[in-house]
Chains A and B, each alone.
Chain A
């Protein structure tokens, strides 16, 4: 099983600041198989990125993804008020079971 470890656990930032979220895998896998989701309290996760760097439909371009091998990053260039949420990385397809990171909470400083 590929274990995904996200860091930091919590990121305290102000609107307008840049957020950098990390996702590290316990074993290397194809970067085509890495996605990111945003989850707000009481809501289902929402797909942000897939294939490491492809934005899902309707996702603004302040969100970007990068990485390969075992290290992946989600960057939010300038935080908007609606971006404060929990973010999960997700690896799929390289081997079952698909797995998720434990999440990074982006909170208002």
Chain B
């Protein structure tokens, strides 16, 4: 069965970077896209960007352009999302999800807490 398993919770200081991983199983990662969506406490879901895991092409939300980088390691069936220059407002649960249009499978989420 399709599964996306994310790395564990992170605590970071303002200005630092965080890199969250998303390991896929149950399907060929190169056959689909992986999206990244975050959810701050009490807020709606917010799309950050996506990667075509087949050819490595990426697209980012303008809001995060310049701060977010999504990469993949096909040999490890893993996609990574790195967010730099963290600030307190980046405290959120970060999700990876499979899909080019709608998102049919989701990771369990990774809590990233930013505080000094």
On A, residues with C-beta under 8 Å from B are 33, 35, 37, 43-47, 50-51, 56-57, 88, 90, 92-93, 96-103
- In the assembled complex, which residues on chain B have CB atoms less than 8 Å from the CB atom of A51? 102
- In the assembled complex, which residues on chain A have CB atoms less than 8 Å from the CB atom of B37? 100
Question: How far is B40's CA from A26's CA once the two chains are assembled, in angstroms?
Answer: 23
Prevailing SS type, chain A contact patch = loop
Taking a contact as CB atoms under 8 Å apart, the answer to whether A101 and B101 are in contact is no
Taking a contact as CB atoms under 8 Å apart, the answer to whether A33 and B47 are in contact is no
- CB < 8 Å: which of B46, B59, B63, B95 contacts A44? B95
Q: Which residue of chain A is the closest to B62 with respect to CB atoms?
A: A97
Taking a contact as CB atoms under 8 Å apart, the answer to whether B61 and A93 are in contact is no
Taking a contact as CB atoms under 8 Å apart, the answer to whether B101 and A102 are in contact is no
Taking a contact as CB atoms under 8 Å apart, the answer to whether B44 and A102 are in contact is yes
Prevailing SS type, chain B contact patch = loop
Taking a contact as CB atoms under 8 Å apart, the answer to whether B107 and A44 are in contact is yes
- In the assembled complex, which residues on chain B have CB atoms less than 8 Å from the CB atom of A102? 44
Q: Which residue of chain A is the closest to B50 with respect to CB atoms?
A: A98
Taking a contact as CB atoms under 8 Å apart, the answer to whether B102 and A90 are in contact is yes
Question: How far is B105's CA from A98's CA once the two chains are assembled, in angstroms?
Answer: 17
- In the assembled complex, which residues on chain A have CB atoms less than 8 Å from the CB atom of B101? 33, 50, 92-93
Taking a contact as CB atoms under 8 Å apart, the answer to whether B63 and A45 are in contact is no
Taking a contact as CB atoms under 8 Å apart, the answer to whether A100 and B46 are in contact is yes
Interface-centre pick from B47, B63, B107, B109 (highest chain A CB count, 10 A): B47
